[in-house]
Structure 1
């Protein structure tokens, strides 16, 4: 496996500092994806539409079919699908424009104000095996990193593996070997195996990110903890050539969300 590139920690800190100045602990999906890009993790093509005409133009530039997702830091929209904030398989730019209007109206009927919505993301559709990479903070062990099958599988099967951060390449490969459904990564029913090296690199980059962001004293936990409380990359699509992140959520440590 090639050497893992260093992350652009200055870019990451700029994104985090902006959120802190705005008194936000939840980064929107565009900011979260920008953090992944600063880590060297590939993300799918995307743009944020703030009008139906924006949506039309972005769909045309990215190329249909596209996916559209609401962009908001409102805690009610952390699970966008449940709130009707995700639409897939948008076939034409005209359909993208109509979807913008329909989704905005639906979200507002659910009690979300227009002021709390950054816009609607229009993004490239990607296929592959769905993987999840996440981090959390354990009250005893501190920051942990997790991986397993992503998408709905993580909720149904809970087939995941954890390690204490930081991890080594050996740790990352061992995590993949611990997944009960690891044969899916090796190729089933005529499908090629995924690029495990690319998943390993992504795990190492996220581990490096957690270790290199600012750490702050948590009086409740009586220890230093990273400013990033939680990362949820789901799904990370894995193919035989690469991995591409299509959705990500980053939550910062703050008094309002400490357990």
Structure 2
């Protein structure tokens, strides 16, 4: 017999059982063939491949030095975000490898030098200079579960994903109706509709991004064990989303 520690936990558990029962009645989703090519999950191609499916990246440039970072930022336009790219460090924010709201070329160059000194030049493969985008931060991911197969996860993004633990799960692949239902299950769903004077977010674009990432993973599951976009910045209604940080986990 299960033992639940609180009424909210009980309600969420009962809702999960109801959703599972409904899914069983509809029939579990069939996985299409893994027809994607390995080139689509390479470092050089992944962001472009996702952008083609509506997971649009901000304007960005990969560079190898502080001087090149300053030049790239000038071309992109300010403000920008500076991030390290490192094979040794997958969670850049926790490592202190992200600097926000840089407003001129000197600030970008100085920030890159500080990152080199703090993290170590030998650990930094390159820098990513990225247009700074403001909006609601969400997480969208898909991972391979050894028992259930590909599972789609959606939740509040950025630093809040670990703090709030507010996520919704489905077996992949999902359709648009599934994606909207997942969003409605989140405790933070009100933020998408406009909260405390904020404009409503582009729920349609976010739902489509969930479907697109689910389809991409299923097609490329031969090469990927997990893929996560965190954050997905959800812009105002009608303005789409931006896939700010993509973290793939490739199979050996």
TM range (shorter): 0.7 to 0.9
How far did residue 57 of structure 1 move?
0.6
Quick check: 170-179 or 30-39, which moved more? 30-39
Mapped partners of 1:137, 1:15: distance in 2: 18
Superposed CA deviations along residues 58-98 of structure 1, whole A, max 9, x for unmatched, are 11011111110001112xx1111222211111121111111
Q: Which residue of 2 aligns with 1:174?
A: 181
SS of structure 2 residue aligned to 1:39? coil
The aligned counterpart of 2:241 is 243
Q: Which runs of 5+ in 1 are unaligned?
A: 1-8, 20-26, 216-226, 255-259
Distance, in Å, in 1 between the alignment partners of 2:221 and 2:191 is 37
Partner of residue 195, structure 1: 202
Q: 2:54 — aligned with what?
A: 40
Paired residues of 2:78 and 2:104 also in contact (CA < 8 A):
yes
Query: Which residue of 106, 120, 126 corresponds with 2:127?
Result: 120
The answer (yes or no) to whether the contact 2:39–2:45 under 8 Å persists in 1 is no
Contact 1:233-1:247 at 8 Å conserved across structures: yes
Partner of 2:149: 142
Q: Point out where structure 2 has 5 or more consecutive residues left out of the alignment.
A: 1-34
Output the CA distance in 2 between the equivalents of 1:51 and 1:151. Answer: 27
* Alignment TM-score, normalising by the size of structure 1: 0.78
d(CA) in 2 for partners of 1:153, 1:80: 15
Aligned pairs, how many? 216
CA–CA separation in structure 1 for the residues paired with 2:145 and 2:224? 13
Task: Give the superposition deviation at 1:15.
Answer: 4.1
**Could you tell me how far apart the structure 2 residues matched to 1:128 and 1:181 are?**
14
- Give the root-mean-square deviation of aligned CA atoms: 1.8
Residues 154-209 of structure 1: CA deviation (Å, up to 9, x unaligned): 11111110100111121111101111111111101111111111011101111111
